[in-house]
Amino acid sequence: MAEEEAPAEEAGKKKSKLPLLIGLVLLLIGGGGGFYATYSGMVLGGDSGAQAEAHGGGQGAAGDGHGGGGGPDPMADVAFVPVTPLVISLGPASRSTHLRFSSQLEVARAHEAEVAGLMPRILDVLNGYLRAVEVREIEDPAALVRLRAQMLRRIQIVTGEGRVRDLLVTEFVLN
């Protein structure tokens, strides 16, 4: 009887390891496939559309003498539009009395004049937003990222889709 139980135990142990090994192999394959799909842009959109647009725009610029023979220059299509500095009064509840804010807008060269022409509207939306934000949020050092994202979204709504790429904060001083 003892001899019959020993082979049965060994067979049971081998069966218990097989599903574990199959699961581990499938996990590695799935993880690798998921990484590749995300990295290549098949999942979550990736940058493939933006890269294709940049390459298409850069090739036109190469004919204008801005690009080299090795490929399009990705910075050839970038222009920066300065935003008039703003001074916002913070009120009596604040440790500081004023916020001095200045920035620049990153735009495609094709939209530079259009965005500059909309500067009064941009200033209006920035001024209105910064005055509406609570003082404690402005004074929080980690809040600049959130404030910048909110301001960029409002500017993109004012200027129209695809004209403003980014908002670069050059001065955010509480005094």
Region 74-174: CATH code: 3.30.479.30
- 3 state SS of 167: strand
pLDDT digits (tens, 9 = 90+) for 129-157: 999 998 888 888 888 999 999 999 999 99
The answer on pLDDT for 102 being more than 90 is yes
Region 41-46: mean pLDDT is 67
Rounded CA-CA distance 54/75 in Å is: 10
Q: Is 16 left (phi over 0), alpha (psi -120 to 50) or beta?
A: alpha
Rounded CA-CA distance 63/139 in Å is: 49
pLDDT at 69: 52
State residue 45 phi and psi, 5-degree precision.
Answer: 80, -45
The answer on pLDDT for 12 being more than 70 is no
**CA 149 to each of CA 47, 130, 152: distance values in angstroms, whole numbers, following the listed order:** 20, 13, 5
- 3 state SS of 106: strand
Residue 39: CB partners within 8 Å, gap ≥ 6?
Answer: 46
